[in-house]
Structure 1
């Protein structure tokens, strides 16, 4: 029984330890961050989805906007400055990026949109994202706000809504150096 209690406590500490290691990396600056958009309802986009109209998309919930504000406060307080932010054009990603980092440095970037079902188009999206990541050489942090499918395709790993993965290019994909979990 004691063994199970210790395992439970240890597993509960893992996200906190991973988060602290992630902040330590970002304090040094010069890192690339994949950030999954904040909390949205459901999954998949409605049938009448239009990239130009937020009213046709899954948008941040009140809890998602609150999560994004918390993320912004923590990025400001705990990391080196954020030099550049690219975001999917989907409203849940753009709103997350703008709440966290402000309008002035957020750039919509179509390759970060939800990954295409067409394999060639998806490869072109990932290639464009990898090109941006490989070209980055700034001293501040570079953040890309996107969706679960994109993160999985680039890293082979999942991320919670509002979770940040600190990454570096490795081979054809990205190696995860650290994570930050925003509860």
Structure 2
């Protein structure tokens, strides 16, 4: 990350779309139940450490974030946000589980519906002087925001409703932490 990007983030007005930390414990079951973590892949110890570090890096770099942090209803995304920002600062939004569904076998109209909704969400500007944080899932290659590594972050500049958005940068957790002195 270069210093001009850090300055932009400190001024706010961006969306930080982050993928959850490493999830290697268990697997997503065919009968996946969002209320039952046992039916899902969950954070590994590495993933938990990544989540804690992600929150610490944003605070250390003095990147302002608006609360609540928006999360997908999967156990791994909720735990990531909770470890990074605290339980009281998160809000579960069922829409973000749709991103997970993009990796499945969807019809073209269903995929378009999800991507159109994604665009609408990413066009909404955050509160002035702060950044909105969304913790959800990666995307299949070439779809939506594309592949995102564990705890990777896509920096998005919303252009206002109906005007689209611009991807400013895609950062790994190591990229993001490169500014911590």
TM-score, normalised to structure 2, is 0.77
The answer to whether the 8 Å contact 2:26/2:38 transfers is no
Give the number of the structure whose alpha-carbon radius of gyration is greater: 1
Partner of 1:9: none
Q: In the alignment, which residue of structure 2 is the partner of 1:90? A: 74
Q: Deviations over 1:30-83 (max 9, x none)?
A: 211110111011796223321111121100000100111111111111133210
Cα distance change, pair 41–26 in 1 and its aligned pair in 2 (3 A): same
Equivalent in 160, 167, 171 of residue 149 of structure 2: 160
2:41 paired with 1:58: yes
Residues 160, 65 of structure 1: CA spacing in aligned structure 2 closer, same or farther, 3 A cutoff? same
Residue ranges of structure 2 left out of the alignment (5+ in a row)? 175-181
With over 3 angstroms needed to count, the CA separation of the structure-2 counterparts of 1:83 and 1:150, relative to structure 1, is: farther
Picking from 63, 74, 91, the partner of 1:80 is 63
Aligned to 1:121, the other structure's residue is in SS state helix
Q: TM-score, normalised by structure 1?
A: 0.76
Q: Which runs of 5+ in 1 are unaligned?
A: 1-17
Q: Matches of residues 28-43 of structure 1 in structure 2 within 5 Å?
A: 28-41=11-24
2:89 corresponds in structure 1 to 105
1:115 corresponds to which residue?
Answer: 101
Q: 1:19 to 1:94 in 2, by over 3 A?
A: farther
Aligned length: 165
Q: Secondary structure at the match of 1:68?
A: helix
Q: Does the Cα contact within 8 Å between 2:64 and 2:131 map onto a contact in 1?
A: yes
